[in-house]
Amino acid sequence: MPLTAAVENLGCRVNRVESDRIVRDLVEAGFCVGAPDEAAVVVVNTCAVTGEAEAKTRKAVRRALGLPQRPQVIATGCMANLHAAELAKLSERVCVEPLKTAVAACALRLAGADAEVPTQPHDPAEVRGLLGRSRLGVKVQDGCDNRCTYCIVWKARGRSRSVPAAEAVAEVRRAVEAGAAEVVLTGVNLGRYEDLSEGGEPLALDGLLARVLAETDAAHVRLSSIEPPEVTDALIQVVASSGGRVAPFFHMPLQSGCTSTLKRMGRLYTADEYARVASRIRAVLPTAALSCDVIAGFPGETDEEFAQTLAFCEKVGFARMHVFRYSARPGTVAAESADQVPPEVRAERAAALRRLAQRMARQDARGRVGTEELGVVEYPGEATLASFHRVLLDPGAPGPGTLVRVTITGIGEDGILRGHVGAEG
């Protein structure tokens, strides 16, 4: 009887990468990984970023417990770190395992197999096939030393810590061997990457990126979210000198374009400092795409402060914006603030930001017509460009999992780019 397991992911991009690693560990341990309703063990990688996320976690665990085959359920992730006892009380079939690298061993114990994870020979591409993605993430950093007043992640994840560069490079090689067309370096606070394992000067993110380029065959590398103060001139130069192997794309969380609001959030920069980072990037990489997160309706945000955020975003000219209505997270400083913005005002401000985001995305896309970019074909006839714009490809384009060079030929009324595939990347 084969060992069967399933992995359900909740939450952020880092959780997604960690869930991918759990899938790989399970495959190497001898499990067949598939759908939850066919699994003897279901892993739920939990999220606790908001109260709503915790509610979704509890619902996901209960849903897994209610499956007809009565699987064993492993809860891991942020909520497992913060509220282990609460999750364990849901059922005697729930095992809380905060350490994600121990999930496969836990699954073997629950399945009645030996707890020591055996390494099984397998085709690395099997994991990519299971995940169904052409872009694979490699986590090189975890934890956060910041204390943003709206955030609980620093409590759930602990202090910043980094994967030694040699291990990170080896993981990138594994992703390339698995057939990943693009490798995404990721972390909870990626810009705080610091490897002290080899003595001498600490190796920062720019140094790690340079090693990945020099020591692997990764054809296309992307950096995930980086805090604005961590985007150094050295990092920008590595991206610029990579010959296109590193996507000229910077996702820098903004949260607010108003310095007063940023201060209440506990952010470590002013609006002017953020703007200067954006200017430094564009001075070296004029076609770089900038992306951000913005919170609408943070406690104490006035109409004037929100207007400053709108104006700031338009001035920077983002290619992408992720807009969030402020949601009070129990256990944070901001949740205890007396000057909460009414829910209807938060919704109106989020809608205004999304309208601006859509307009700026189209403007950035139009500016790319007539240019060439590398793109990863993720679905039949559709690719994700280095700038992270979607592009619909001409009939006959290569299939998913291919890195291609795309000539951008136009933009549709839907705001999505059209393109023609030239030589493969």
Answer whether residue 127 is part of any domain.
no
253 shares a domain with 200: yes
* Structure token digits, residue 65: 């417990």
Answer whether residue 60 is part of any domain.
yes
Return the SS3 of 38.
Answer: helix
Band of residue 52 on the pLDDT scale cut at 50, 70, 90? confident
pLDDT, tens digit, 9 for 90 and up, residues 302-344: 999 999 999 999 999 999 999 999 999 999 999 999 999 999 9
Q: What is the C-alpha to C-alpha distance for residues 162 and 34, in angstroms, rounded to an integer?
A: 31
382 shares a domain with 244: no
143 shares a domain with 74: no
Q: Can you give the pLDDT at residue 254?
A: 98
CB neighbourhood size of 74 (10 A): 29
- Contact in structure between 146 and 176 (CB atoms under 8 Å): no
- Contact in structure between 165 and 197 (CB atoms under 8 Å): yes
Mean pLDDT score, 106-119: 71
Q: What is the C-alpha to C-alpha distance for residues 203 and 209, in angstroms, rounded to an integer?
A: 10
Q: Can you give the pLDDT at residue 126?
A: 59
Band of residue 119 on the pLDDT scale cut at 50, 70, 90? low
pLDDT, tens digit, 9 for 90 and up, residues 33-44: 999 999 999 999
Answer whether residue 121 is part of any domain.
no
* Structure token digits, residue 217: 């065959």
Domain total for the chain? 3
CA angle 251/60/186 to nearest 5° reads 20
Band of residue 132 on the pLDDT scale cut at 50, 70, 90? low
208 shares a domain with 344: yes
169 shares a domain with 91: no
299 shares a domain with 151: yes
pLDDT, tens digit, 9 for 90 and up, residues 86-100: 999 999 999 999 999
Considering the chain, what is the average pLDDT of its residues?
93
* Residue of 29 and 183 predicted with greater confidence: 183
* Structure token digits, residue 34: 């598939």
* Structure token digits, residue 129: 């096939």
Answer whether residue 404 is part of any domain.
yes
Residue-by-residue DSSP string for 343-407: HHHHHHHHHHHHHHHHHHHHHHHHTTTT-EEEEEEEETTEEEETTS-EEEEPTT---TT-EEEEE
Q: What is the C-alpha to C-alpha distance for residues 84 and 255, in angstroms, rounded to an integer?
A: 30
- Contact in structure between 87 and 80 (CB atoms under 8 Å): yes
Q: Can you give the pLDDT at residue 349?
A: 98
CA-to-CA dists, residue 146 to 155, 266, 301, 333, angstroms: 10, 8, 21, 13
What is the sign of the dihedral through the CA atoms of 109, 114, 115 and 117?
negative
- Residue 115, pLDDT > 50, answer no
Q: Which of 248, 249, 243 is nearest to 213 (CA)?
A: 243
91 shares a domain with 150: no
300 shares a domain with 213: yes
Answer whether residue 123 is part of any domain.
no
412 shares a domain with 340: no
* Domain span including residue 138: 132-366
Q: Which of 267, 16, 196, 84 is nearest to 277 (CA)?
A: 267
Question: Which CATH number is 193's domain given?
Answer: 3.80.30.20
Q: Can you give the pLDDT at residue 28?
A: 87
Band of residue 423 on the pLDDT scale cut at 50, 70, 90? low
- Residue 396, pLDDT > 70, answer yes
- Contact in structure between 275 and 375 (CB atoms under 8 Å): no
Q: What is the C-alpha to C-alpha distance for residues 38 and 297, in angstroms, rounded to an integer?
A: 43
Answer whether residue 116 is part of any domain.
no
Answer whether residue 146 is part of any domain.
yes
β-pairing verdict for 390-393 and 382-385: antiparallel
Q: What is the C-alpha to C-alpha distance for residues 104 and 408, in angstroms, rounded to an integer?
A: 44
Exposed/middle/buried for residue 284 (C-beta within 10 Å: 0-12, 13-18, 19+): middle
- Residue 178, pLDDT > 70, answer yes
Chain centre distance of CA 372:
26
CB neighbourhood size of 17 (10 A): 21
Question: Which CATH number is 417's domain given?
Answer: 2.40.50
149 shares a domain with 235: yes
Element (H, E) at 85: helix 84-88
290 shares a domain with 382: no
- Contact in structure between 115 and 121 (CB atoms under 8 Å): no
Q: What is the C-alpha to C-alpha distance for residues 354 and 349, in angstroms, rounded to an integer?
A: 9
Chain centre distance of CA 265:
21
- Residue 120, pLDDT > 90, answer no
Sheet architecture: strand order including 161-162? 161-162, 135-142, 182-187, 221-223
* Residue of 357 and 53 predicted with greater confidence: 357
Q: What is the C-alpha to C-alpha distance for residues 56 and 58, in angstroms, rounded to an integer?
A: 6
Band of residue 113 on the pLDDT scale cut at 50, 70, 90? low
Identify the domain boundary among 326, 348, 366: 366
pLDDT, tens digit, 9 for 90 and up, residues 181-229: 999 999 999 999 999 887 778 999 999 999 999 999 999 999 999 999 9
Answer whether residue 119 is part of any domain.
no
Q: Can you give the pLDDT at residue 196?
A: 87
Q: Can you give the pLDDT at residue 424?
A: 57
Mean pLDDT score, 240-244: 97
Q: Which of 343, 334, 341 is nearest to 150 (CA)?
A: 334
Mean pLDDT score, 61-78: 95
388 shares a domain with 318: no
Q: Can you give the pLDDT at residue 199?
A: 74
- Residue 114, pLDDT > 60, answer no
